[in-house]
Amino acid sequence: MQETWRDVAGDGGIRLRVRDVAGPRGAPSVLLHHGLASSQRIWDLMLTDLARTFRVATFDARGHGRSAKPGSGFGFDHVVADALAVSRSLRLGRPIFVGHSWGAMVGLELAARHPRSVAGAVLVDGGVTSMRTSFATWREAREALAPPHLAGMHIEEFRALIHTFMGAAVPVTPELEAIVLSVMRVAPDGTIRPQLSRASHFKVLRAIWEQDPVGLHARLRVPALAIVAHGSGDDGDAAWEQAKRAAAAALRDARASTRVVWIESIHDVPLQHPAARS
């Protein structure tokens, strides 16, 4: 697999760390966007397989991974513009946009606002439900979804928690550990700090709170596929799964053209099912 790493200027000149994976000559392109507090490394297990058919591009969103850490610009206007900047800089043409979780929400916004920029959108366990259906107020959502306080934890203590994060669904291999550890900065004394600051995390959450997924799906003029995880015993608990099914029903009621398929999986579908195709 031939891959090239480079920096690209996003919206406002923000530095974005990008990976360009070569596919067959003349292959269609795919642009992958990770979720909140994650990194582009979440796609690692899928890249070899995807590169057999597609030219593949991934990047760390602003505030994440190896990209710049601005204090602002986390609304969908800016992050959509970042994705467009990556696509244009790499000359991807009209890629298929694939987003996971928050990345799916970015893809939904991008496809609805700029349909000529993408050939279609694949939304992996995100971009279907509205945060407002689960929380009555932004304050309630903010408190419930606040990131854990991990800054200052020793890396070995964090490494031991990876088994807890994954449960029995995903074997914790050295490759998986590297993917998970990519979301942290490690100090010389071995303590860690999340790549995404707590303040920026809340800014992304606020943008998600304000998003209207059903309205965006109703506007879509390009093909869209929503892959929704269920039944994992993790994010597949009864209340969360019920919210997802209600959201899928709302899309049908709105006569949205998005195709919805279900997969038994934890939320991090790219880690549990890297070879899955729909």
pLDDT-flagged residues of the chain (< 70): 232-236, 277-278
End-to-end C-alpha distance for the chain, whole angstroms:
23
pTM summary value: 0.96
Report the alpha-carbon distance of residue 223 to residue 9 in Å, rounded. Answer: 28
Q: What is the pLDDT of residue 236?
A: 46
Of 237, 242, 233, nearest in space to 272 by CA? 233
CATH superfamily of the domain spanning 3-134+196-272: Alpha/Beta hydrolase fold, catalytic domain (3.40.50.1820)
SS3 185: strand
| 171's tokens | 């074997």
Whose CA is closest to 104, among 76, 70, 142, 74? 76
pLDDT at 232: 65
* Structure token pair of residue 23: 């596919």
Closest Cα to residue 76, out of 30, 124, 111? 111
To the nearest 10°, the Cα dihedral for 175, 176, 177, 178? Answer: 50
* Distance in angstroms (rounded) separating the CA atoms of residues 127 and 244: 10
Predicted local distance difference test score (pLDDT) of residue 73:
97
Alpha-carbon distance of 196 to 218, in angstroms, equals: 32
Give the domain ranges of the chain. Answer: 3-134+196-272
- Tell me how crowded residue 157 is: count the other CB atoms within 10 A of its CB: 12
- pLDDT at site 277: 63
